Amino acid sequence: MFERFSKDARDVVTCSVALAERAGAESVTEEHLLLAMLDQEGTRAAFAFAALGMADRRASVETGLAEARRRGGLSRADADALAGLGIDVAEVVSKVEAVHGEGALQRGGKPKRRWAPGHRGFTPSAKDVLEKSLRIAIARGDRHIGGEHLLLALTAMPGVVAEVLADHGATYESVQRAMFGGG
Amino acid sequence: MSEATDLAQRAGDRDPRVGLRAVAALRRLLEQLEAVQVRSARNQGWSWQEIAGELGVSRQAVHKKYGRQ
């Protein structure tokens, strides 16, 4: 699949790995993909971010991502679904943090391992984003996967990143309009 | 009016998607809570055997999932 990636899409992947390494994360997530994309200049995705007024709101995006991490990576849709069962996620988070310290839930549900630099893999959901970008490119009849397809894929996969993007006005439809025009 | 709202509400509850999404969200929350508790127990010197006993799973299962910390 990577041989079909355009240069700017490859750059996103490389930068996301570097961001994950710098953050000490054990694997590369779709959050790293998004942040890598926000760092780019002169690409179609960068143009979309600028058109949607998102280019200079990186801090706000990071805050949104951090809030979700504090909820243990649960999206607001997850929290709503749990509220339907009578579970107040905010209450659970505050009880856990009262005992185990602030940010206790954000340290991840997976076992901790020592990761050597250069050995970070993508999480299953980040891989899903890469695959989705391929499907979007094929559906559009585009021969290469570019950053624009990665960005569309990020908006299309339900979860924290798509919610944070939507909070900043970047939905699948708005991004598509900004990058390709029309509907 | 309120009858219609109730009907819509009940129809929503019967939609398998609503229930399944809640279960998936609950599983995500459970995984995070389990990790917090296991980490806390290990920090307090609990053995894998003791942790597994409280969780109601085998020692191997809990060690495989959280070992090598």
Rounded distance between C-alpha atoms, residue A83 and residue B14, angstroms:
16
What total of structural domains would you count in chain A? 1
Residues of B in contact with A100 (CB under 8 A): 36, 40
For residue A109, tell me if it sits in a domain.
Answer: no
Confidence band (pLDDT; 50, 70, 90) for B1?
very low
Q: How many CB atoms lie within 10 A of CB B2?
A: 6
Please report the residues numbered 28 through 47 in chain B whose beta carbons come closer than 8 angstroms to any beta carbon of chain A: 28-29, 31-36, 39-40
Q: How many CB atoms lie within 10 A of CB A18?
A: 16
Cα dihedral B18, B24, B28, B34 in deg (nearest 10): 110
Does residue A23 surpass a pLDDT of 70?
yes
> Closest residue of A to B64, CA-based?
A111
Tokens 């991840």 correspond to A108
Nearest CA to CA, how far is A93 from chain B (Å)?
9
Q: What is the CATH number of the domain that holds A129?
A: 1.10.1780.10
Rounded distance between C-alpha atoms, residue A13 and residue A34, angstroms:
10
Confidence band (pLDDT; 50, 70, 90) for A153?
very high
Is the CB of A100 less than 8 angstroms away from the CB of B40? yes
The confidence score (pLDDT) of residue B11 equals: 54
**Contact status, residue A45 vs residue A179, Cβ threshold 8 Å:** yes
- Segment B31-50 mean pLDDT: 95
Residue-wise pLDDT tens digits, A69-107: 999 999 999 999 999 999 999 999 999 999 999 999 986
**Residue closest to B32 by CA, chosen among A100, A39, A11:** A100
Q: What residue segments make up the domains of chain B, in order of their start?
A: 2-66
The confidence score (pLDDT) of residue B14 equals: 78
For residue A113, tell me if it sits in a domain.
Answer: no
Residues of A in contact with B69 (CB under 8 A): 111-112
For residue A167, tell me if it sits in a domain.
Answer: yes
Angular region, A102: left φ>0, alpha ψ -120 to 50, beta rest: beta
Q: How many CB atoms lie within 10 A of CB B6?
A: 10
Q: What residue numbers bound the domain in which A170 lies?
A: 2-73+119-180
The confidence score (pLDDT) of residue A134 equals: 95
The confidence score (pLDDT) of residue A24 equals: 86
For residue A99, tell me if it sits in a domain.
Answer: no
Confidence band (pLDDT; 50, 70, 90) for A144?
very high
Nearest to B28 among A78, A111, A112 (CB): A78
Please report the residues numbered 2 through 31 in chain B whose beta carbons come closer than 8 angstroms to any beta carbon of chain A: 18, 21-22, 24-26, 28-29, 31
